[in-house]
């Protein structure tokens, strides 16, 4: 059962990789693969039950997948230390921008939804 679910996930990933290879779209193939999986789920080509348990497992263990990149960052500690101010400033500014844009989109969506109900 798990192998079938993994095959579906990796199939979507491979399809995303193929599309990127053929079209040269500047987008990570993993993102496109997950968008394709979402589309296939929405269109009911793939049923949620077919991927639910592997998805629950992966989400439940997601922290484990961040350990190797976190350890690898330590190799570049001197570079990070030298560039700490630009890193902090860009992180704070981008966070504020994301929060503001998210709020504006939410307000726009709410107003549009009210007009449609209107």
| Residue 8 neighbours by CB under 8 Å, 6+ apart | 37, 46, 50, 51
Structure tokens at 117: 């109900």
Question: Residue 113 pLDDT more than 80?
Answer: yes
Structure tokens at 84: 């700490």
* Percent of the chain residues topping a pLDDT of 70: 99
Q: Which pLDDT does position 29 carry in this prediction?
A: 93
Q: How confident is the model at residue 32 (pLDDT cuts 50, 70, 90)?
A: very high
Which residue ranges make up each domain of the chain? 1-60, 68-118
Look-up of token digits 């949620």: 48
Q: How confident is the model at residue 70 (pLDDT cuts 50, 70, 90)?
A: confident
Nearest to 58 by CA among 15, 2, 17: 2
If you compute the radius of gyration of the chain from its CA atoms, what whole number of angstroms results?
A: 20
Structure tokens at 37: 């999986």
Full-model pTM: 0.62
């Amino acid at each position: 059962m798990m192998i079938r679910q993994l095959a579906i996930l990796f199939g979507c990933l491979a399809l995303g990789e193929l599309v990127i290879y053929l079209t040269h779209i500047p987008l990570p193939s993993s993102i496109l693969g997950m968008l394709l999986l979402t589309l296939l789920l929405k269109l009911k080509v793939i049923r949620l039950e077919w991927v639910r348990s592997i998805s629950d497992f992966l989400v439940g263990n997601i922290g484990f997948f961040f350990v190797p990149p976190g350890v690898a960052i330590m190799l570049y500690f001197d570079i990070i230390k030298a560039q700490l101010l630009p890193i902090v400033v860009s992180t704070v500014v981008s966070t504020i921008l994301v929060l503001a844009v998210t709020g504006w989109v939410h307000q726009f969506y709410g107003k549009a939804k009210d007009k449609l109900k209107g």
